[in-house]
Amino acid sequence: MQTIDKQATVKIAIDLGLTEDEFERIVEILGRTPNFTELSIFSVMWSEHCSYKNSIHWLKTLPRNGSRLLVEAGEENAGLVDIGDGLACAFKIESHNHPSAIEPYQGAATGVGGIHRDIFTMGARPIAALNSLRFGNLDLPHTRRLVRGVVHGIGDYGNCFGVPTVGGEVYFHPCYNQNILVNAMSVGIVKAGETVSAIAEGIGNPVFIVGSATGKDGIHGATFASADLTEDSADDLPAVQVGDPFQEKLLLEATLEAIQTGAIVGMQDMGAAGITCSTSEMSAKGKCGMRVYLDKVPTRQANMKDWEILLSESQERMLIVAKKGEEQLLLNVFDKWDLECAEIGEVTGTGQLEYYYHGELVAKVPAEALVLGGGAPVYKREYKKPDYIEQAARFKPNAINAPADYIETARKVFSAPNIVSKRWIYQQYDSMVRTNTMTTNSPSDAAVVRVKGTRKALAMTTDCNPMYVQADPYIGAMIAVAEAARNIVCSGGEPVAITNCLNFGNPYNPEVYWQFVQAIKGMGDACRKFDTPVTGGNVSFYNQSVLKDRTEPVYPTPTIGMLGILDDASRHMTLDFKAPRHQIYMIGTPQNDIACSEYLRIIHGVELSPAPYFDIDEEFHIQHNLKALIREGMIASAHDVSEGGLFTALVESAMVRGLGFEVETDTNFRKDAYWFGESQSRVVVSVALDIEDDLVNYLNAHNVPFTKLGEVKGTHIVIDGLDHGPLSDWKNLYDHTLGEKMEA
Q: Could you tell me the pLDDT band of residue 221, with boundaries at 50, 70 and 90?
A: low
Nearest to 126 by CA among 24, 251, 2, 229: 251
Give me the active site residues, please.
49, 96
Q: At CA 220, angle to CA 218 and CA 222, rounded to 5? A: 95
**Tens-digit pLDDT profile for residues 67-87:** 899 988 878 889 999 999 999
The Cα 72–Cα 65 span in angstroms is 7
| DSSP-assigned beta bridge partners for residue 87 | 84, 191
| DSSP-assigned beta bridge partners for residue 683 | 587, 640
Q: What local confidence, expressed as pLDDT, does residue 373 receive?
A: 82
Considering only residues 229 and 23, tell me which one the structure prediction assigns the higher pLDDT. 23
Per-residue pLDDT for 306 more than 70?
A: yes
Q: What local confidence, expressed as pLDDT, does residue 618 receive?
A: 98
The Cα 73–Cα 396 span in angstroms is 42
Q: What local confidence, expressed as pLDDT, does residue 546 receive?
A: 77
**Tens-digit pLDDT profile for residues 568-595:** 999 999 999 999 999 999 999 999 999 9
Q: What local confidence, expressed as pLDDT, does residue 218 receive?
A: 63
Nearest to 464 by CA among 522, 541, 528, 544: 522
**Tens-digit pLDDT profile for residues 614-631:** 999 999 999 999 999 999
Return the percentage of the chain with pLDDT > 90, whole number: 87
**Tens-digit pLDDT profile for residues 705-736:** 999 999 999 999 999 999 999 999 999 999 99
Q: What local confidence, expressed as pLDDT, does residue 236 receive?
A: 52
Residue 232 · residue 56 · CB < 8 Å? no
- The average pLDDT across 528-533 equals 97
- The average pLDDT across 514-530 equals 98
Q: What local confidence, expressed as pLDDT, does residue 647 receive?
A: 98
Nearest to 38 by CA among 345, 358, 375, 354: 354
Residue 103 · residue 97 · CB < 8 Å? no
Q: Which helix (H) or strand (E) holds 529?
A: helix 510-530
Taking residue 468's Cβ as centre, other Cβ atoms within 10 Å add up to 28
Q: What local confidence, expressed as pLDDT, does residue 237 receive?
A: 46
Taking residue 396's Cβ as centre, other Cβ atoms within 10 Å add up to 7
Return the percentage of the chain with pLDDT > 70, whole number: 96
The Cα 621–Cα 476 span in angstroms is 19
Q: For the chain, what is the mean pLDDT?
A: 94
Q: Name all contacts of 513-517 with Cβ < 8 Å and 24+ positions apart.
A: 513/54, 513/381, 513/382, 513/383, 514/383, 514/384, 514/385, 514/386, 514/473, 515/386, 515/469, 515/470, 515/473, 515/556, 516/55, 516/58, 516/383, 516/473, 516/556, 517/58, 517/383
Residue 58 · residue 520 · CB < 8 Å? yes
Angle formed by the axes of helices 692-701 and 616-631, nearest 10°? 140
Nearest to 496 by CA among 484, 511, 514: 484
The Cα 201–Cα 349 span in angstroms is 9
**Tens-digit pLDDT profile for residues 474-496:** 999 999 999 999 999 999 999 99
Distance set, CA 143 to CA 149, 169, 256, 551, 670 (Å):
10, 17, 39, 19, 36
**Tens-digit pLDDT profile for residues 396-454:** 999 999 999 999 999 999 999 999 999 999 999 988 887 789 998 899 999 999 999 99
**Tens-digit pLDDT profile for residues 110-120:** 999 999 999 99
The answer to which of 215-224, 265-274, 556-565, 735-744 has the lowest mean pLDDT is 215-224
